[in-house]
Amino acid sequence: MPGFAPVGSLSAVGASEFTTLGHPMFPRHSVRIKQSHFCDNTVNAYTGYIDIEAKHLFFYFFESRNDPATDDVIFWTNGGPGCSSALGLFMELGPCRVTNATEGTKFHPESWNNNASVFFVDQPVNVGFSYADYGESVSTSEEAALDIAAFLAIFFENFSSFKGRAFHMAGESYAGRYIPLFASAVYDQNAQLLARGLTPINLTSAMIGNGWTDINTMIPSYYDMTCTPASVPPVLGISTCIRMKKALARCEKWVKAACIDQFDSMNCEAAMMFCQNELMVPYYATGLNRYDISRSCEDGAEAFCYPVTKIIEEFLNLPDVRMTLGIDAHVSQFALCSDDVAFAFNFAYDTLHPSIDYVAGLLERGVDVLIYAGTYDWIGNWVGNERWTLAMDWSGKAQFVDQELRDWKIDGKVVGKTRSAKGLTFATIDAAGHMAPYDKPKESLALINKWLAKETL
């Protein structure tokens, strides 16, 4: 490997300028990283860019509050497609929260970096602080996965203390599509690293919260969520629910034939349009929060029903914050979500492909999988997620299906239901919405800490 010299230690990374990382296997990729003192004064924090020629993906990295030299490492991405992981960082599971743009950040005691070091990545390109020089774009999860896998190999190879460390890939919402593909790309890439005499990444698990993983089970679940007491009493009228029930069989049959058994883009799109009109549009008309069926939508769709999202955007557009983070001048304005990226993924039909077989592939190769869901979420609800975990074909299916849902507790209090077998765990978090760590930070952290420690829920 002539010409390659790993940095060796994160302590060698300064705060005044970027340190550049390379890798002999990825000549098109490099990583710029610097210390960034913000958000959590109890740990070292870093920010930087993953440079893939003309594409530049922004990331944050926070060391563990416990033992950064040995603790596990978590990769986190939000969904969309097209939404920044700043949502996860500043609203959900990060080491600080933003509740007032001018007052800065507030220490978050239930952060997931209590016992793990955590990445937050703005991906794909053109999301959040990420950008492209000449209009380059990414429109499929397969393409996005390759860049993320390369980034992780570069990071782990340059900092020797991370070699062999337990590594978990996590995300929520559309990350139900991303994470199975990203983790699979890391797993498959490990064979190439080994062939070059390099250390593989110790991919230990994948974790998905309120994910969009299998359209064949998620779409029909909207009937259960709105017309049965699956989480709250029915929120739609009887006549509406009767029409929805009549549409269910047609929806499931059409989606299975056009999107699952043999993908036909035009027919699949037509099937999805029918299903959405019959099973989703009635809920939109209620004015309820699509991320929390127990409450109304605040400030409308522009704020994703949560006014704090606008505060986060305002905070990240402050000049001093951008300077602290090391944001490239090419990024004129930060936005939590990109309509252009969402359109590109929809236009490429990425949103119509299930990722369930990737989950099965990971499990068959010894990578554990945690599927969790807040019970009040509508859009990526627990009913649809439980159904695909039960329906998934893999060698552990019989053992998993045979397990009854049972209570899991914190300090003797029931906080959800769970089922586990052969490396797969499904868990609910009672009264949490789509952003479960936002609604139930204590319970979400307890779930993750138990998962990292390989404890039974």
- Chain-centre distance of CA 378, in angstroms? 17
End-to-end CA separation in angstroms for the chain:
45
Q: Which fold has domain 10-215+352-452?
A: Rossmann fold (3.40.50)
The torsion of the CA quartet 261, 262, 263, 267, rounded to 10 degrees, works out to -90
pLDDT along the chain (457 residues), means of 10: 66 85 88 90 93 93 95 96 96 94 92 97 95 90 94 89 93 97 97 93 97 92 97 97 96 92 91 95 94 88 82 94 92 92 92 94 98 97 98 98 96 96 98 97 97 92
Q: Which residues are known to be catalytic?
A: 173, 377, 434
CB neighbours (10 Å) of residue 397?
18
What was the pLDDT predicted at 301? 60
CA distance 283 to 346: 22
Comparing CA positions, the residue from 20, 76, 82, 25 lying closest to residue 48 is 20
φ/ψ of residue 264, rounded to 5:
-125, 105
Residue 273 confidence (pLDDT): 94
CA atoms of 332 and 99, how far apart (whole Å) = 23
Tokens 């929060």 locate to: 289
What CATH topology corresponds to 219-299?
Helix Hairpins (1.10.287)
Q: How far apart are CA 385 and CA 9, in angstroms?
A: 40
Q: Residue ranges of the domains in the chain? A: 10-215+352-452, 219-299
Go through 422-446 and write b for each residue having 16 or more CB atoms within 10 A of its CB, e for each that does not.
bbbbbbbbbbbbbbbbbbbbebbbb
The pLDDT assigned to 210 comes to: 97
Q: How far apart are CA 6 and CA 12, in angstroms?
A: 11
Integer Rg of the chain from CA:
21
pLDDT at 12: 82
| Residue 408 pLDDT | 96
